[in-house]
Amino acid sequence: MPGIREEMIVFLVAVVSGAAVRLAYQCIRCFRRIIAHRLAAIGVEDMIFWIGSAIYMFVQIYHTSDGSIRWYFILGVALGAVLMSVFLRSAEKLYKKIYGAKKKDCSPGG
């Protein structure tokens, strides 16, 4: 049975993992805005992304808790994704404030 310290480390790894997956998807979204894609290409990209994300999460769960899915790992992944979304939104607002960007953006909601 893991101690509270090990569980906290697993939770922090989960937060970082969720943030990494969210950031990776944001990069894909920005790439799509830079280069026009057909619907079929978007579907293939999404399929590759989700398969890659599933493999990445499986490896993280396997390494942190020997393959046992714990509720706090899922909570940490969700929290990491939300925190990354908030960070990206704040960074975009700061960018617009500094540079006055009026063009298409790669914002999480846009």
Kindly state the tokens that stand for 61: 């769960």
pLDDT, tens digit, 9 for 90 and up, residues 23-52: 999 999 999 989 988 999 999 999 999 999
Residue 24 near residue 84, CB atoms below 8 Å: no
Distance of CA 92 to the CA centre of its chain: 16
Closest CA to 58 of 67, 49, 50: 67
Give the span between the Cα atoms of 107 and 83, in whole angstroms.
14
pLDDT of 69 reads 81
Give the span between the Cα atoms of 78 and 89, in whole angstroms.
17
Q: Which residues of the chain have pLDDT under 70?
A: 1-2, 101-110
Q: Amino acid identity of 84?
A: M
Alpha-helix runs per DSSP H in the chain: 4-34, 39-65, 71-99
pLDDT of 84 reads 96
Q: Which residue bears the tokens 């929290």?
A: 79
Residue 77 near residue 11, CB atoms below 8 Å: no
pLDDT of 3 reads 84
Among residues of the chain, what percentage have pLDDT more than 90?
Answer: 65
pLDDT of 59 reads 93
